[in-house]
């Protein structure tokens, strides 16, 4: 049974397909089958999508239709019409998982409102890839997309997340990276950060540092950039109330009690996983 036979069920459906960040080997067999057999492929950039198909050696059954930030609203009626005709559509972005700072949210929402099936085809995701390898606490985390332009707006943007206790993940363009980190420093204080550059590509690089010391940062980093900023540093041993607050927070993230205790211990000073586990019982 092929991937298309197994997963493409016939009838209208929107497939939200994750594609490689850079390394072609990261495209899953399931994603490959769906992209090959979909009736229409919605692509953020049809030229780049065509090159990706060529690089991956994929033949496609359907047409490529441009679907990007500035034409999403205009395209929506036409795309919904295709789905209501019974076609299967695959939504892809330039790289990674669609909707994460890429177009598609309005379409997915409109499909749900019309009871048109929407199925994810999971795979590469820059925020998760950066979190998995940067060495900063992965849970809880908040993905922020792209920060806004303007110093005051950027400061407010980070300030809203100052007291959440979460690791912050966002995308940034190289020309705005240093101003964004400076705004984060002013709003959040001195925290650890990691710049994940060119993930899964030949020049992949992880650059760790502290917001309080940005002087040595190269202002001309190239490539696709994902930034991870760790939670606030502790100013001494946490008290019992703070530990219990974090326990409740981690319980919402799921896991067994011992695993929750271990995650909380990674976030506070002066407590071991064993003592936290005893406090939970």
Q: Does residue 74 form part of some domain? A: yes
Boundary of a domain, candidates 124, 153, 187: 124
| pLDDT score of 118 | 97
Distance of alpha carbon 60 from alpha carbon 31, whole angstroms: 12
Q: Does residue 61 form part of some domain? A: yes
| pLDDT score of 1 | 39
CA dist list (Å): 72 to 67, 69, 121, 171, 258: 6, 6, 21, 21, 46
Same domain, 24 and 83: yes
Q: Does residue 224 form part of some domain? A: yes
Contact by Cβ (8 Å): 17, 89: no
Contact by Cβ (8 Å): 124, 116: no
> With a threshold of 0.85, does the pTM exceed it?
no
| pLDDT score of 250 | 85
Q: Does residue 248 form part of some domain? A: yes
Same domain, 78 and 174: no
Query: For the chain, how many structural domains are there in total?
Result: 3
| pLDDT score of 9 | 62
Same domain, 101 and 200: no
| pLDDT score of 235 | 59
Tell me the per-residue pLDDT of 240-258, one tens digit each, with 9 for 90 and over.
Answer: 888 888 898 888 888 899 9
Distance of alpha carbon 165 from alpha carbon 178, whole angstroms: 23
Boundary of a domain, candidates 229, 248, 264: 229
Tell me the per-residue pLDDT of 63-101, one tens digit each, with 9 for 90 and over.
Answer: 999 999 888 889 999 999 999 999 999 999 999 999 988
Low-confidence ranges of the chain (pLDDT < 70): 1-9, 234-236
Same domain, 247 and 162: no
Same domain, 216 and 250: no
Same domain, 120 and 146: no
| pLDDT score of 246 | 85
| pLDDT score of 84 | 96
| pLDDT score of 266 | 80
Distance of alpha carbon 75 from alpha carbon 70, whole angstroms: 10
- Both tokens of 214, joined, read 């940005």
Structural domain for 260, as ranges: 240-280
H or E, element range at 37: helix 29-37
- Both tokens of 104, joined, read 């598609």
Same domain, 76 and 111: yes
Q: What is the CATH number of the domain that holds 218?
A: 3.30.950.10
Q: Does residue 24 form part of some domain? A: yes
Q: Does residue 269 form part of some domain? A: yes
């Amino acid at each position: 049974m092929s991937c298309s036979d197994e997963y493409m069920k016939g009838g209208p459906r929107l497939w939200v397909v994750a594609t490689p960040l850079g390394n072609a080997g990261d495209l899953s067999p399931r994603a490959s089958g769906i992209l090959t057999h979909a009736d229409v492929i919605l692509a953020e950039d049809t030229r780049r999508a065509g090159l990706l198909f060529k690089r991956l050696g994929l033949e496609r059954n359907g047409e490529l239709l441009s679907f990007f930030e500035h034409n999403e609203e205009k395209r929506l009626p036409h795309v919904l019409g295709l789905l209501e005709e019974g076609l299967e559509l695959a939504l892809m972005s330039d790289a990674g998982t669609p909707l994460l700072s890429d177009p598609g949210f309005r379409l997915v929402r409109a499909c749900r409102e019309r009871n048109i099936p929407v199925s994810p085809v999971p795979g590469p995701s820059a925020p998760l890839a950066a979190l998995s390898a940067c060495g900063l606490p992965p849970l809880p985390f908040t993905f922020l997309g792209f920060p806004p332009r303007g110093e005051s707006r950027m400061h407010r943007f980070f300030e809203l997340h100052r007291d959440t206790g979460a690791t912050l993940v966002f995308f940034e363009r190289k020309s705005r990276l240093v101003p964004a980190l400076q705004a984060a420093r002013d709003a959040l204080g001195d925290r650890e950060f990691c710049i994940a550059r060119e993930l899964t590509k030949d020049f992949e690089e992880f650059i760790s540092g502290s917001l309080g010391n940005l002087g040595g940062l190269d202002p001309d980093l190239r490539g696709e950039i994902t930034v991870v900023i760790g939670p606030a540093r502790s100013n001494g041993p946490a008290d019992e109330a703070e530990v219990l607050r974090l326990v409740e927070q981690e319980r919402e993230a799921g896991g067994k009690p011992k695993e929750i205790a271990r995650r909380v211990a990674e976030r506070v000073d002066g407590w071991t996983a064993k003592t936290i586990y005893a406090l939970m019982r």
